[in-house]
Amino acid sequence: MEKRQQMKDSLQLCIDRHKDELHSLSLDIWSRPELAGNETHAHDRLVRFFSQDQTWTVESHYKLPTAFRASWGTVGGGEGQQQPGLNVGFLCEYDALPGIGHACGHNLIAEVGAAAALGLKAALENQTDLPEPVKITVLGTPAEENIGGKNQLIKAGAFADIDLVFMAHPAQQDASFLPCVAINEVSVKYHGKASHASAYPWEGVNALDAAVLAYNNLSALRQQLKPEWRLHGIIKHGGEKPNIIPAYTELEFYLRTPLVKDLCDLKAKAEACFRAAAVATGCQVEIIYPTDCYDSILPNATLANLYENNGKALGIQFPEQPANFSGSTDFGNVSFIVPGIHPFFYICTDAFNHTEEYTEAAGAEKAQLFTLRTAKALAMTAVDVVCCPVLLRQVREDFRLAKLKHE
């Protein structure tokens, strides 16, 4: 235990030494917000950050145009004897929201991932008697807010050699786990027929009427949904001019349930509402699911307990968790293939995510104490697991049992 504490002390000192660089990294990403899949500046900035230390092997544009991978350490033994080893992953996000920038604090997620990786590297350097060789991998995972970059990276094999995965997300409080929900995005397109809205309205087929009916159908449906189910959306396109019967309209909705298996029921109900509106107006309808669903996050009790213990040692307080939390993330999909943890952290604001006030808070200097404290707690949790085979076995068993429970 004494050795493990020394490693934790060294990683804290490392993160403190690099605090100005880390703040600069976060602020640079925050000041240049980029939408999902277009995070070229953030990608380049993170690649430069890791490339300045030549002990990191950095791959830019890794499997996706704005993803990257930075690796340190060797998984394997000497003299040609390849050992299994342990590959510990840290994830960075860095996409922003349309119109309001980094209102979900993804610049801070990137900072946490980078800081935790630097800290763990400092703790592991010159350690010659670890239970097994350790490698650190940092993955830049773009497009969480839209197309699900982590899902695409999973399909591309980016997580195939990673054994544990860590990231943390800013929120209204500190929590080792919050029950994020599964989500599916649906795009609905109505095709009607244009006509002069005053002179020949009977010649038209009104696609806007279909969109409005569908929206109202879903509003009525909410009365019969389970309390933890959610559906919400917008009319993205409603027509061209008031004197033209709209020939085309489009809606975008998100459907959310606690478990992926519940999404099938909600999708069936929502699709009935969309199709009924088409029948009522005589329009043709397209129902498109443009991205894979985001799964709920698989909990890992051992990692959560370790994170809380390390967090408390750093002064983090963990209030009682809310009964329901309706956020969604593509980390959920990662959590079903690799044991991991996705805690949430307070950044010194009472504002809610996805608001202009939260954008301001994500770029404020006062968020730094909380952000770097979270990075230390993540890296300290990684130290516990890589130093103790018993804990690693418990983490893997929690993962196995949680997957069985959710099947």
Shared domain for 174 and 200, answered yes or no, is no
Which residue range is the domain that position 381 belongs to? 2-180+296-406
> How many other C-beta atoms can be found within 10 angstroms of the C-beta atom of residue 282?
14
Domain boundary among 268, 288, 308: 288
pLDDT tens sequence across 330-369: 999 999 999 999 999 999 999 999 999 999 999 999 999 9
Q: Is the pTM of this model over 0.85?
A: yes
Same domain, 168 and 206: no
Q: Are 282 and 304 found together in one domain?
A: no
288, 314, 334 - which closes a domain: 288
Question: How far is it, in rounded angstroms, from Cα 338 to Cα 89?
Answer: 10
pLDDT tens per residue across span 139-165: 999 999 988 999 999 999 999 999 999
Residue 323 has pLDDT above 70, yes or no: no
Same domain, 115 and 213: no
Q: Please check whether residues 205 and 190 belong to one and the same domain.
A: yes
The residue count for the chain: 407
Q: Where residue 265 sits, what CATH number does that domain have?
A: 3.30.70.360
One domain for residues 275 and 383: no
Residues 214 and 262 in one domain: yes
Q: How many structural domains is the chain composed of?
A: 2
For residue 149, the domain's CATH number is 3.40.630.10
Do 228 and 310 belong together in one domain?
Answer: no
Neighbour-count burial for 181-202, b at 16+ CB within 10 Å, e otherwise: bbbbbbbbbbebbbbebeeeee
List C-alpha distances in Å: 146 to 38, 166, 293. Answer: 11, 21, 11
57 and 128, same domain (yes or no)? yes
* Single residue among 253, 288, 323 that ends a domain in this structure: 288
Distance CA 134, CA 73 (A): 6
265 and 335 belong to one structural domain = no
pLDDT in tens, 215-268: 999 999 999 999 999 999 999 999 999 999 999 999 999 999 998 889 999 999
